[in-house]
Structure 1
Amino acid sequence: MSRMASLQFFLLILFLCSLSSFITLTEPSNTYSQTKEFDRITNLPGQPTTPPISQFSGYITVNQDHGRALFYWFFESQSEPLEKPLLLWLNGGPGCSSIGNGAAVELGPLLVKKKGDALEFNNYAWNREANLLFVESPVGVGFSYTNTSSDLTKLDDRFVAEDAYSFLVNWMEKFPQFKSHDFYISGESYAGHYVPQLAELVYDRNKDKTNYPVINLKGFIVGNPETEDNYDYHGLLDYAWSHAIISDQVYEKAKQVCNFKLINWMDECNTAMEVVFQQYQEIDIYNIYAPRCLLNNTTSSTDDVLDAQISASFHKDGSKKGLRWPRIPGGYDPCYTKYAEKYFNRNDVRLSLHANPNGKWEVCNESILRTYNYTVLSILPIYIKLIKAGLKIWVYSGDADGRVPVTGTRYWLEAIGLPLKASWRSWYHNHQVGGRIVEYEGLTFVTVRGAGHLVPLNKPSESVSLIHSYLSGEKL
């Protein structure tokens, strides 16, 4: 080989080596980008063309051995996504979808339109204030699934919290740019259990840096939250009487025979409370001043759900299981759940969302309502613990909700016995009273005037002011 040929061969080897080094250095970034980009939504049926929305959806495995995976829908903040906090939203039930309620009806940037044939942009979406993450939890809800059927018989608050924590850890591996962001947890209804319990789990495991990653948890905010059975049911009964839902006689009878501190109610209490619940079959318990859905001129979803709730609440021997209700709330359009179910059962929608194409998608899974193991009666010890830990904690209530009414929430807030920081007063929105606010040491409580169980649905503009104030620290 000539000297020139030898030099050319040497330069070729040097070039190939440098190219190999370049590939090795850049491969992890490419692999990460492809993994995340697989979940990017590029063509959601019926989505408006403007404004542009950066969104992702898909599955995060939470238990490899059992084949459990939770479905998520994530929207980057409309501005400064690399600077804004990360906000997780959970719906309750147990058994109701955060996609079908929170994302597509309440506070997401894309809302299902009437008749379920398209989407419309939500000018009051919470991703104006944060990067917004929805997850369908627990398994069996919405598109989330398990390959181990026995998992569905083990669902309780601890099970849900563990899976939600695993979801967070694994989701942040897919989206590592958000690991360092301030992280907040939010939700409504039975998420009054889910949210504080997940916050406690994150808080505890953050202290064990050897075995767990650090999640930058700053606080949580919950709306119309189920919190403490005794106070919640006392509040439900008092609210029904004070808002002219039930008669004096029904109210006095229930007060006389019911001890809501008991795990299993006495037969006389079961009978008395069934009469209370039946009065709500004529109206919407989740928004007592809202119209009911009259689609098809048949019994409304509220009727069907109340019947299921009453029958699911008792053992065969008549003893109380613990009355828990899925969230089928009302609002400006009380038929929205039917529209959401029509949209998310479309094959083209499922394909765009990277969701399982098989099975029926429902806003609320009633079988979970019937089989869920209600093992926790009070969340108050968690509040006391996390208030001492210095987390930022807000509670808000739509004051037209009969299911988890403002009265019950005020009862348990009083029971905690927190020192008063700023007294009860009005807050204003567009020069009108938006509600009331009271600040305790370590916790803020806000009411939203005229809103039902789903505050962002009934009062969207007020709800954005609420979450802006919570996240930014600016006064309402």
Structure 2
Amino acid sequence: MYDFFGTHALISYDNLRKIRRYCDFSRAHESAECRHSLLKTDADVWNAIDVYNIYGPLCLDGNLTSRPRKTSLMNFDPCSDYYVYAYLNRPDVQEAMHANVTKLTYDWEPCGDFNWVDSASTILPLLKELMENGLRVWLFSGDTDGRVPFTSTQYAINKMKLPIKTEWYPWFYGGEVGGYVQVYKGDLTFATVRGAGHMVPSIQPVRASALISHTSSIANAEV
């Protein structure tokens, strides 16, 4: 993700150079130089913008209102997480969903501190297994997602050393570029969604729908 930050003017090239030089990310304890560069990144990026949607607005008022705010399919509300949090913690909603039947004393959280000790370090072997069994694989990224950026996905795909079947090209929806696609031999397709962050359907719902509904057409560049 730090390469993404550096190429999108979120951190300085000097800081990116230091991260590349001093940070390993596989060690339990990084060097002092690495920690200093990461702290600078925290100040410049993580504490300053929404890294899940780097060009999107921040939620400046997460307070709930007595009446629902006007929603828009085209304009993503950065405060929507607060509404979901409040809604899913209502006792009547949890009862209707048959959730929290053990009556936990703390609120539901979208991302809890779960100590997952047996998670795989990479899903590349799984992708290879799917492809070897004749399943078509599609990977897609919003191109303004800084948390799991398209650059990281591309690095991972490159490790698979798949020959390129169809070179990088734009796909279109409504006469405009909806994103870009590259197809690899072995039935793996990588696509981007232009102007979308981490939660692609929330931020670019029309293009996300086009991507999912017209995968075969996108393989031919036009939806």
**Bin of the TM-score, shorter chain as denominator length:** 0.7 to 0.9
What do the CA deviations read for 1:216-245 (whole angstroms, capped 9, x no partner)?
xxxxxxxxxxxxxxxxxxxx1111111111
Instruction: Tell me, yes or no, if structure 1 residue 290 matches structure 2 residue 35.
Output: no
Partner of 1:430: 174
Greater Rg over alpha carbons, structure: 1
Identity level (%):
38
Q: CA deviation at 1:414?
A: 1.7
Higher helix share: 1
**Distance in 2, Cα, partners of 1:467 & 1:285:** 24
Could you tell me whether the CA contact under 8 Å between 1:284 and 1:291 is conserved in 2? Answer: yes
Structure 2 gap ranges (5+): 64-74
SS at structure 2 position matched to 1:282:
coil
SS at structure 2 position matched to 1:444:
strand
Partner of 1:279: 44
**Distance in 2, Cα, partners of 1:248 & 1:361:** 40
Q: 1:419 to 1:296 in 2, by over 3 A?
A: closer
Q: CA deviation at 1:372?
A: 2.9
Partner of residue 414 from structure 1, selected from 131, 151, 158:
158
SS at structure 2 position matched to 1:295:
coil
**Distance in 1, Cα, partners of 2:118 & 2:36:** 21
Instruction: Tell me, yes or no, if structure 1 residue 447 matches structure 2 residue 192.
Output: yes
**Distance in 2, Cα, partners of 1:353 & 1:385:** 36
Partner of 1:241: 6
**Distance in 1, Cα, partners of 2:43 & 2:13:** 15
Q: How does 1:247-396 map to 2 (within 5 A)?
A: 247-260=12-25, 262-268=26-32, 269-280=34-45, 281-295=47-61, 332-356=76-100, 358-359=103-104, 360-365=107-112, 367-368=113-114, 371-373=115-117, 375-396=119-140
Q: CA deviation at 1:275?
A: 2.3
Could you tell me whether the CA contact under 8 Å between 2:62 and 2:79 is conserved in 1? Answer: no
Could you tell me whether the CA contact under 8 Å between 1:293 and 1:335 is conserved in 2? Answer: yes
Q: CA deviation at 1:273?
A: 2.2
Q: CA deviation at 1:464?
A: 1.1
Structure 1 stretches of 4+ with a deviation exceeding 3 A read 473-476
**Distance in 1, Cα, partners of 2:198 & 2:98:** 30
What do the CA deviations read for 1:251-271 (whole angstroms, capped 9, x no partner)?
1111110224x2435223333
Across the aligned residues of Structure 1 and Structure 2, the Cα RMSD in angstroms comes to: 2.0
Q: Bigger CA drift: 347-356 or 401-410?
A: 347-356
Could you tell me whether the CA contact under 8 Å between 2:62 and 2:82 is conserved in 1? Answer: no
What do the CA deviations read for 1:58-84 (whole angstroms, capped 9, x no partner)?
xxxxxxxxxxxxxxxxxxxxxxxxxxx
Partner of 2:201: 456
Could you tell me whether the CA contact under 8 Å between 1:258 and 1:265 is conserved in 2? Answer: no
